[in-house]
Amino acid sequence: MGCRPFDALSPQHLAIAVAAARVDDVPVGALVIDAFAQPPTDIFVVLSGEVDVWLDADRIGSGPGEKLGPGDAFGFSAALAGRASGPRVTARTAAAVARFPLDVVMPAFASRDGARFLADHIAHARRLASGPPMFTVVADLVRTEPLLVDAADSVAELARKMTERSLPYAAVDTGDGRFGLVTDEILRRRVIAEGVSVDSPACDVMIHPAPTTSADTTSADALIEMLDHDVQFLLVTSADGDLRGAVGERDFVFASTTAGVSINEQIRRAHTTGDLILRARTVPAMLADILERGLTADRVIAVNSAIVDSIVRRALTLVFDAHSDLTTDAFTWLSLGSNGRREAVPSSDVDAAVTFDDAYADDIPRYREVFGEVGEVLTQCGISVDAHRAFPMHEGFSRTHSQWREAATGWLARPQENQGTVMAPLLVDARPIFGDPGLPEPARVFADFNRHPATMEMLLYESLARRAKISTMRDKLAGRGENFDVKARGLAPIINIARWSALGVGSTELQTTDRLRAAAGSRLLPQRDATRLIEAFETLQFLRLEHQLRQVEAGRTPDDILDLDEMSTIDQSVVDGTVREIAAIQKRMDRVAHMHPAQLLAAQRQPVDSESDSSRAKGTKSPARVAKDLAASAGIRKPAKRGRRSQ
């Protein structure tokens, strides 16, 4: 007899579950469980007979919501949540019911099939029960009253209170309007591994400020925040700042759109590179699941980017554990490109750089060898390492702080030399994900990017030179006229415009849509155009993600080439209209930009009258033309097309 999700258990785990199970014979009409009164510690499966189930406490006086028969499970929602959330179950006929302790069957619910089962159950429960959707905001996921301790409480007292409450965390009242956070993991590391005295105050071991989210934040956004910051828990506060509780990765299994991401916890706990590779290979299927369950494409991509960060961090830790002569304290790992912008899709390469403390300058060649091993692990995880050398095993992407500062200063002053036009776009997208979380040295140098006219001019040229279009004449001559490169011909122009515009207004945002919002209303990017570019970016990213997930499911390598012949008429129309919209905005930028120095255009945030600007632009050179003429007069060749590296 098959029984979801227990049929996903390995033979070993299944044998353990069977040995721990207890079977009850229940007479007709007898109460099996009332999980509205008290949360169960077991999960139930009907072996024979039938049971009646009430999913809504307000409807217990009327007929049951549904009936279950052999092979059906119940009680898992309340058991997993640890709260009295239902259901109430009675025997419809004489029945045999098996009870499984939650701990022994938990692996079934952490599996992909378990996540799908929970999502199906939640969707089914929504149809049967009254009231708002379940688990859509963080408040729905908070299971217990919070544990709040004083900053002066000793570590021993703190651990005792956590044990009494059976909680893996405690919030610390710091008196500054923010909270500290202590977890089981922090206590093990600080007390056992580092030898901190148990008489020390809680403030000596806490994370401060604690990662916090609001109770009305959506479950999806909270999960992305937790993954992005690589933390186990988020403290949850009310609108007025009062502590409501905490949520961890396990709590998100109840939200249908985030149920599958328990895989991130498995990645963080991988003990070997083989285990990491096995877990990482399941990520694309999980992405398809949560997209199908209703999570928006931009959030699915954000989840993927956060999980890629987790894979990279774990790969670094596992590989360097095998090299005791080297320390991960020596460097900070920077994600670049789409990973740096948190826009990684299944086809995205891992672009990365490393900045070292100056004291390790002589050891860098040895570190580069080990970074090569990290790259090999990532490749086996299904994440391709940048083929264009944008990876720390190469000399140009692993330097000391001083070396980065010297190189970046040169790129800003003379972008046409030493590949400055290649490196600058990569490094302004840099985001530290391992090591020192502070502002990395390359980003610190680029903080006043808009004060360097030559670099701003070259980036503007890049933004306008690559026009959005369905296909090129070369594509048509080669017989590829019905293929659309969604990245190069649609997304890349938006990414470039967003990067340049955001730098012009001094924004530190990284994600493309956030950059467009930051620059909206500037002289070069009116609010209307920014809104249209945001809509265009989200539309193309959705089509790209769906295309790549279908390729992965079919066992093919994901790419960015959409076959327009295979798309529906509606989707073809959407692509055509979206690309035309992007191209029109690029043309308008080209007409307007000549009127002001490039580095000042985006900084002027007053509204623009596009028609009058257009009329004044007639008969004058565009900034792209000006930049090209300047480059020619200086003996500089036109920048080669670099495809993905500046994206």
Residue-range domain boundaries for the chain: 6-106, 135-255, 271-442, 452-646
> How, if at all, do strands 66-68 and 483-485 pair?
unpaired
636: its two tokens: 């500089």
- Under 8 Å between Cβ of 202 and 155: yes
- Per-residue pLDDT for 545 more than 90? yes
pLDDT on residue 427: 82
CA distance 393 to 121: 47
CA 367, 373, 375, 377 torsion: positive or negative? negative
- Per-residue pLDDT for 147 more than 60? yes
593: its two tokens: 């930009």
Helix, strand or coil for residue 82?
coil
- Per-residue pLDDT for 633 more than 50? no
112: its two tokens: 């992909």
The CA-atom distances, in angstroms, between 123 and each of 27, 136, 140, 625 are 31, 12, 15, 56
Strands of the 169-173 sheet, one edge to the other: 148-150, 169-173, 179-183
CA 286, 297, 232, 269 torsion: positive or negative? positive
CATH topology of domain 271-442: Beta Polymerase; domain 2 (3.30.460)
225: its two tokens: 């925040």
pLDDT on residue 490: 93
Backbone angles phi, psi at 153, to 5 degrees: -60, 140
- Per-residue pLDDT for 444 more than 70? no
CA distance 238 to 248: 17
For residue 5, say if its preceding peptide bond is cis, omega within 30 degrees of 0. Answer: yes
Helix, strand, coil % over all residues of the chain, rounded to 5 = 50, 15, 35
pLDDT on residue 18: 87
- Under 8 Å between Cβ of 39 and 83: yes
Confidence of residue 363 (pLDDT cuts 50, 70, 90): very high
pLDDT on residue 131: 43
- Per-residue pLDDT for 567 more than 50? yes
pTM of the predicted model as reported, rounded to 2 decimal places: 0.65
Q: Which class is domain 135-255?
A: alpha beta
pLDDT on residue 220: 76
Q: What CATH superfamily is the domain 6-106?
A: Jelly Rolls (2.60.120.10)
CA distance 353 to 396: 8
